[in-house]
Structure 1
């Protein structure tokens, strides 16, 4: 009976975790905005725990203790916030989800006991990370419309002008080298064709979605070149940079990493992929 109660409480707490904001504090040394190794390891554990939720947005707020001038503290708190943003992005959090990165300056010292001053100041030298999950989509029977699954299209559909918002283009012949963010030589011809048609079709706006294979619990993979766990993001950015270089307006594009949330099954190479989700199609002139 005791085991059943524990299991029930675990399920309830997991559900609550997925529905409510979750927070994490990262602590810094005096006058520092470089993250100590122990704090970076704690942050990594926190990021790993986010695999169970779908993130709506991430807010980052930097703080300092009451030492130093207000101007100095404001700048230091912003530097701390920026550092955490870079770390989150480097470890697989989509930069587009990070909506607030603000330095708030100093936290005024509240002295309860003079012997605790040093400890309290240490707790005030921090960055607070707030992760807001997406609200679950209710079933149609519960009064809310469900989201339709994207319709998969091809490069030919781009040429023919038959795309609409929500269409997804799976780039079947664009594959990435194992553990790296650059494409194989056999993929370059398809990538060139994609760039050419997207340069011509100026009314199509889209998001490039990067994927990886062979990781556990929907985690991102490590990019062997940079040693960062953000391979799906790096793959999407590779395509973004390539298209921009070929003349596709950056205002039409976004890129995100979807880690290993949507494996296709079959050979691993098919999950080392990118897809394009159409977000807007303007009227032809």
Structure 2
């Protein structure tokens, strides 16, 4: 059985894919033909992610019996796919029994349906599922932001600045650097990616954004944080907050920034 469950309502407005297998009357295991279809689906979707499995029955039998049978069908599929296809952490199984829009063809009602997201769409997973990320109050201290952050959350490191056209960190940045260090020390399983951004130019030919991210990592490593916990990337001018060329210094300052992305907690 899969242990982590969440109520995930599925409706036609979602863009996830779906795949159904069909059961014999009063059965909760699959005949060979349907089992082969399921195995084929698993092979083709080893890099997809399952978000839910729903179970259904026809109207033969009592409501209580059908609810139980529908759940047994879900359990059969859940056990069969375990460790074969990635499953969303808040995955949910649901048994509808006969309480759904029944087909006139009873055989079509004896089924379990897998809802999943293709590998190519995983970057849009929450968007597809209609899940909105809660915004973290920008005024919170860094350690509070980290507590609220989830994997994939990007946090601006305020008050980290560099001397013009270099990757040398200014002395007034020390407070922000030590805030980050304390967060890493107090969250020993935390892994981050430091992301550098620059402003005001047409291209990052000198890879200054990457060097600035590396410089922040050098500080952390020098203070005892293992390099395996800190990766770096330089986005150059590819992800500006304001269009380049910026209209004023305020916009330029916003564009030249260092952020961290939560890789794991």
User: Which of the two has higher C-alpha Rg?
Assistant: 2
**TM-score normalised to the size of structure 2?**
0.44
